[in-house]
Amino acid sequence: MSDDIWILGITMTKFGKHPDLDTVDLAAQAAMAALADGGVTMADIGVLAAGNLIGGGGLGQQLQKQIGQTGIPVYNVSNACATGATALRTVIMAIKAGECDMGLAVGVEKLSGAGLLGAGGTAKSDKNVYEPSGRYGAVTNTDGRIGTNNMPGTFAQIGMEYGHKYGGTSFELFAKISEKNHSHSTLNPLAAYTKKMSLEQIMGDMMIAYPNTRPMCSANCDGGAAAVVISGAKLKTLSLEQQRRAVKVSASVLTSDPWSESCQVLPDVNTLTRMASTQAYEQAGVGPADLDLVELHDCFATAELVHYDNLQLCEQGGAVDFFTSGAPWRDGTMPVNVSGGLQSKGHPISATGIANIWEVCHHLRGEAGDRQIQGARVGLAHVIGLGSACGVHILEKSAA
């Protein structure tokens, strides 16, 4: 245990609209709850990593003023949708380096009302004609309401590309993936949306970028998540109950794009995810078949399908058959996004990486209530941010 890294305490706030709370409020709420969950205080923490994209920087120091200014090093993290996972990995690396034996990672975002184009603040041309310019001049617009330079268009293309390459995809198939996640969300009281949606409702809603309708897109919302990370040696000095609830971090991996000609035009979310999953399985000494549940980055229904393949939950090219087998449903052989996923749980960008890990930890502890995956011992959490960055963590139940 002494060389291992463990999550001692972890939490997420209710995702949704919080008009009366600002970014620091949400971060403090998550941080204090994670400390309480682990049975420790800020006096025990040796490093803080705070992830946020929209807030303007310096969140960590602002957060300290709310939860305790102890003079410890603070890392302010920004890494697209992988920000939360990167904050966690920052703390893990500090502990592995021997700089401290316990740290706190926080991710938070205020996104409700931001719309599909993000939080705004960038001037838009009044012209209806696309004019290539700048370093993204090679990126052309696609069908749907927005172009490939934005997330919905990008992931629409990625899903359609997978279908063209391997076959079997359809508008209805992608909608069924969303139907699964909205169904799962009904058991998650912290999800932004907990309403079950029929296939007809999903397919009949507003088209954003074919084949993704509005319910098939991740939900912008407010939220925070935080985790207390501890070394194995330090964990041994704590109570048996703390050791029992601790979750082992068997693998922590962060990758970025390797160079390829195509990804200079359209982001390649596949290669760096497959690289990350391969490294994570090797680091943890497990394989996909050993996983009891997966929380993956379903920013769009199309993304979930390709990541079945990228995370090697199926044979290459076999994502459609994997889904149609029923495997990724809560009662299937490989439950995926039991939380409801980003499409229902919500996607406050910087909080998502830790929130996905929180969901897995919840099941490994046996604390997931009505949505509990019985006997869960090993789980995987995955996030990806365009730019691109991919974080994969494999987590294991404590033997204590």
Domain assignment present for residue 120? The answer is no
Domain assignment present for residue 212? The answer is no
Q: What is the CATH number of the domain that holds 92?
A: 3.40.47.10
Domain assignment present for residue 196? The answer is no
Mean of the per-residue pLDDT values of the chain: 91
Q: In the numeric block, which tokens belong to residue 270?
A: 């596949």
d(CA 303, CA 299): 6
Q: What is the pLDDT of residues 129-182, one digit of tens each?
A: 556 566 555 544 443 344 456 788 889 989 999 999 999 999 999 999 999 999
Domain count, the chain: 1
Domain assignment present for residue 243? The answer is yes
Which residue would you say has higher pLDDT here, 263 or 368? 368
Q: What is the pLDDT of residues 11-59, one digit of tens each?
A: 999 999 999 999 999 999 999 999 999 999 999 999 999 999 987 789 9
3-state secondary structure of 248: strand
Q: State which H helix or E strand residue 76 sits in.
A: strand 74-77
- Residue carrying structure tokens 């919080």: 18
Q: What is the pLDDT of residues 205-247, one digit of tens each?
A: 999 999 999 999 998 999 999 999 999 999 999 999 999 999 9
Integer Rg of the chain from CA = 20
Domain assignment present for residue 64? The answer is yes
Comparing CA positions, the residue from 3, 1, 5, 7 lying closest to residue 364 is 7
Q: What is the pLDDT of residues 239-276, one digit of tens each?
A: 999 999 999 999 999 999 998 876 666 678 999 999 99
Write phi, then psi, for 250 (nearest 5 degrees).
-80, -25
Domain assignment present for residue 192? The answer is no
DSSP state of 351: H
Please give the angle made by the CA atoms of 44, 47 and 52, to the nearest 5 degrees.
125
Domain assignment present for residue 375? The answer is yes
Domain assignment present for residue 280? The answer is yes
What domain range is 318 assigned to?
A: 5-114+220-394
Q: pTM for this one?
A: 0.92
Strand 378-385's sheet: what is its strand order?
74-77, 48-51, 102-109, 223-231, 5-12, 247-256, 389-397, 378-385, 293-295
Comparing CA positions, the residue from 156, 155, 148, 150 lying closest to residue 210 is 156
